[in-house]
Every structure is written in structure tokens, then in C-alpha cells.
Amino acid sequence: MNKKIEVTIIGLGQIGASLGLALKKRAAKRYNVTGVARRKEVLKTALKIGAVDIASLSFDIAKTADIIVVCTPVDTISEIYKKLLSIVKANAIITDVGSIKTFARKEIPKSKTAAFVGGHPMAGKENNGIQSADANMFAGAKFIMTGNNAKTVENKVANMWKSAGAKIIKMDASAHDGLVALTSHLPHVIAFSLNKVYKDVKKKNKNIDLLAAGSFKSATRVANSSANMWAPVLSANNKNVIKHLDAFIKELNAFKKILKNKNKTKRKILQTQK
């Protein structure tokens, strides 16, 4: 009987706990899952819902892990990686789920102890925390893998995410950050901004809630996403986000100029749909 692969998940929020649930549901015969969190109540919840086999407040639990998955805000990943280097066993693999990937080139030191594999699962919900964890979150979702590591190393990370239900895509880190700025980061900025306008209007007229239906709810679905998570992402990827934000503002201004003219507005709408 093959020895189970030991996975330690650091950070048991929505993504970390969902990964644990997915591995326990889909591949419990292949993986043992341990988890690390800062708060005891999170650890208790992780154990209660079956996201981990063992939970701890200490990184020391990762000393026997084959794969360590860092599921914390992007501005904490490099510091955690450095701490783990003095704990993990030789040939361990450390990977992450951060929404930006080029930071690793500058902030993640090369180590003979543990390889670092950049990763980003393209999945998530508008809610925050372990309460929103879902064993099926990664079913059919894309997992972006970046960096240049040995094939055997990348395969171990890829196989883990495949076991969680994801489809693997290998991509250059810079290309990832440029594209995700448009498909994920900019939509969050738009949602945050639209929600701010809504709150300003609501202060003057509470009846706005009577008319906030499908379109508005869809556009602001992610407006309450964690500021602790998204502020570091937007800041670190600011050049790419600003590039797309400028293009978006240009389009908004183009609409603004023609709204009084029905025919021009129609043509503009049709242009966006081609």
C-alpha cells in the first residue's frame, strides 16, 4: 500500500479550507491533510467540517509535509516561505494560491531545501472565511501554475489540484498577472466603486434597495470581498490594473459623451457585443 502524501495547508480561509475539503472528499485515500490557522476557533471549525485531519496554531506541523500550500494574503507569502525553510523536510514542495505571481521572482529566495511552485486557482466566492468553504469549489476550475521547476515537482502539485477537481494550465508569471488584472482585479475595483456610489445614494434615499435587483447584484457580487486580501493584490499588481482601468475609464467617457443620442448609444452597445 502506497504511503499517503502529507499536505499542510497554511491559512484555513475560504480557499485553504475548500482545498482541504476537496482532498478529503475526492482523494482521502491518497492524501493526509493538516492545517494551520491563527485562531483556535478557525481550527475547531476546520476539524468539525472535515477540512483537515489535524489542526495547529504552529508552522511546526509542516515539518513532515510533502506539500505545503500557503493560502494567505499575497503580502505574507514570502515571509511565510522563509519561515518554513527552517522547518520543512528536504525536498518538500511549497506552493501558494496568490492572485499575483511575479512577486516570487523578487521575494522568494531559491532554496535547496524546498522548491516553490507558484499557483492560482481560478475559483472563489463573494463571501469570506472558512464558513464559505466548499468541497466542490475547484470542480472544473482552472489552476494556473507558474515558474520553472523540475517536472517531478510540478507534477506533484498538479496532481494534488487535479485530485481537488481542477484543470491545470501552465503559464508565464508575467502573462498571468497581466491577464488576471483584467479578468479578476479590475472587476473587483469596479464592484468596490459601484458599491460606494450605491452607499452614497442610499444615505439620501433608502428606497434604492427596493430597486436593486439582478443587474446591480451581479455587478456588485464581489464588493464585500476581504479588504485584507484584495488591497495587497491590487497594490502589487497596480501597473497592470491601472492599464486596464485607464482603458475602462476611456470607454465610460465614450458612453458619457453619446448617451443623449439614442442611435449613437445603440451603435456603441452593439460594438461592445461584437
Q: Is beta strand 142-146 parallel, antiparallel or unpaired with respect to 114-121?
A: antiparallel
C-alpha 44/C-alpha 50 separation (Å) is: 10
pLDDT at 179: 98
C-alpha 58/C-alpha 55 separation (Å) is: 9
Is the Cα dihedral 217, 223, 226, 229 positive or negative? Answer: positive
Domain 175-273, classified CATH 1.10.10.10, yes or no: no
Q: How many CA atoms are closer than 13 Å to the CA of 70, on its beta-carbon side? A: 27
pLDDT at 174: 96
Tell me how many degrees the CA angle 261-186-209 measures, rounded to the nearest 5: 65
> Residue-wise over 62-96: b if at least 16 C-beta within 10 A, else e?
bbebbbbbbbbbbbbbbebbeebeebbeeebbbbb
Architecture of the domain whose range is 5-170: 3-Layer(aba) Sandwich (3.40)
All structural domains of the chain with their residue ranges: 5-170, 175-273
pLDDT at 195: 97
Are the C-beta atoms of residues 79 and 104 closer than 8 Å to each other?
A: no
Residue type, position 87, single letter: I
Q: What average pLDDT values come out for the chain (274 residues) when binned by 10 residues?
A: 91 97 96 97 97 97 98 95 95 96 87 93 91 96 95 97 98 97 98 97 96 95 93 96 98 97 96 90
> pTM for the complete prediction?
0.93
Are the C-beta atoms of residues 126 and 222 closer than 8 Å to each other?
A: yes
pLDDT at 106: 82
Residue type, position 144, single letter: I
Question: 6-58: per-residue pLDDT in tens?
Answer: 999 999 999 999 999 999 999 999 999 999 999 999 999 999 999 999 999 99
pLDDT at 111: 87
Selection from 111, 18, 25 nearest residue 69 by Cα: 18
pLDDT at 112: 85
pLDDT at 1: 58
pLDDT at 2: 76
